[in-house]
């Protein structure tokens, strides 16, 4: 029996899961969730300067427990602070990557629900309201409270946590009610055609990031990455930058340095061997790049 292909929502959720640390408690699964993707995470008490990729679908993040100071900013913007607590929600349909950080303000576990809404679900809800789906876009909301929304999300999370197989009618009803409510209260519904910067679909982004991560010892090759996505060099580079906020080559160097830092801290390998492991035949060149990236030399980093 052939495997069911992964949906764009699943790829998008996996990409964000890789970028934001935390322990996943539960993952939506089964036919009841074909129009949406939901995950519950237990987040660490503090994180700094996380790059969040652009997401094409509406994403709702709901604080299930805990309290935290959360800050977000565009790549060239100023930090904006929100104090979030149980019941607070964040809504985005970000057309560009952004940075975020947080610090918990209580001893209670900081647990959040991520809910991605599929385009078919949003289109059905929009048409039920007499709206043109192509002219609807969710506004960015940070740390708001909404009692009606909380009731719907409590129902969805209870179904995720208590049922081995979620009830299709119940989940669909809750998701459609939630999407209609979001469109009524938190969407711009007459925005006109949106011109969005070219971005990589989640499955292509995951493909190239995985390839680069597993080929750190090899020379960077833009042609290979573009070919993996079936795109020209120019179109791939522009789309990658619009999605990740940096060039493919810059991401590759950063991944090399992160791997080198891990090896410096957790192994006794000589620096020259670590340099070769991440693709640098010249130890001095490796040390120069490492210092430029981390602000210190490999040996000083290991001593710290």
The sign of the torsion formed by the CA atoms of 168, 170, 171, 172 equals positive
pLDDT of 191: 63
b/e sequence 197-209, b meaning 16+ C-beta within 10 Å: eebbebbbbbbbb
CA distance 271 to 103: 34
What DSSP character marks residue 99?
E
Tens-digit pLDDT string for the chain (304 aa): 333 344 555 555 565 666 677 889 998 888 888 899 999 999 999 988 887 777 778 899 999 999 999 999 887 788 889 999 999 999 988 667 888 899 999 999 999 999 999 889 999 999 999 999 988 889 889 999 999 999 999 999 999 887 677 889 999 999 999 999 999 999 988 765 555 567 777 678 878 888 999 999 999 999 999 999 888 888 898 888 888 878 899 999 989 999 999 999 999 999 999 999 999 999 999 999 999 888 899 999 998 7
Is the overall model pTM greater than 0.85, yes or no?
A: no
CA distance 220 to 248: 9
Q: Write out the two tokens for 237.
A: 């580079």
Q: Write out the two tokens for 157.
A: 């999370």
pLDDT of 64: 96
Phi, psi of 271 (to 5 degrees): -60, -40
Residue 202, classed as helix, strand or coil, is helix
pLDDT of 20: 72
CA distance 213 to 203: 15
**Largest alpha-carbon pair distance within the chain?**
66
pLDDT of 112: 96
Q: Which CATH architecture has domain 8-188?
A: Sandwich (2.60)
**CATH for the 202-303 domain, from 1.10.540.10, 1.10.150.530, 3.40.50.10470, 1.10.10.60:** 1.10.10.60
Q: Write out the two tokens for 181.
A: 């409510």
Residues with Cβ < 8 Å from 93, sequence gap 6 or more? Answer: 55, 56, 57, 58, 59, 137, 138, 140
pLDDT of 4: 39
Nearest one of 257, 248, 301, 296 to 279, comparing CA atoms: 257
For the chain, give every domain's residue range: 8-188, 202-303
């Amino acid at each position: 029996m052939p495997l069911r292909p992964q949906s764009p929502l699943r790829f998008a959720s996996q990409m964000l899961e890789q970028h934001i640390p935390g322990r996943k408690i539960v993952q939506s699964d089964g036919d009841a969730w074909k129009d949406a993707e939901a995950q519950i995470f237990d987040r660490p008490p503090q994180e700094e300067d996380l790059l969040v990729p652009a997401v094409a679908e509406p994403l709702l993040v709901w604080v299930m427990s805990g309290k935290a100071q959360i800050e977000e900013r565009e790549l060239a913007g100023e930090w904006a602070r929100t104090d979030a607590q149980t019941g607070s929600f964040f809504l985005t349909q970000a057309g560009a990557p952004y940075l975020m950080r947080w610090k918990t303000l209580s001893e209670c576990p900081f647990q959040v629900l991520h809910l991605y809404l599929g385009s078919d679900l949003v289109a059905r809800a929009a048409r039920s309201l007499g709206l043109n789906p192509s002219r609807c876009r969710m506004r960015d909301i940070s740390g708001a409270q909404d009692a009606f929304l909380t009731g719907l999300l409590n129902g969805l999370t209870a179904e995720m946590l208590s049922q081995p197989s979620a009830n299709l009618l119940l989940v669909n009803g809750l998701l459609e009610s939630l999407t209609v409510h979001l469109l009524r209260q938190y969407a711009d519904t007459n925005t006109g055609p949106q011109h969005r910067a070219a971005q990589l679909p989640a499955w292509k982004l995951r493909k190239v990031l995985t390839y680069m991560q597993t080929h750190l010892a090899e020379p960077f090759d833009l042609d290979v990455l573009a070919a993996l996505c079936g795109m020209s060099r120019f179109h791939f580079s522009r789309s990658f930058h619009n999605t990740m906020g940096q060039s493919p080559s810059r991401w590759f160097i950063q991944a090399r340095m992160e791997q080198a830092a891990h090896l410096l801290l957790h192994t006794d390998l000589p620096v020259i061997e670590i340099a070769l492991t991440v693709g640098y035949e010249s130890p001095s060149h490796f040390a120069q790049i490492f210092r430029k990236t981390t602000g210190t030399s490999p040996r000083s980093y290991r001593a710290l």
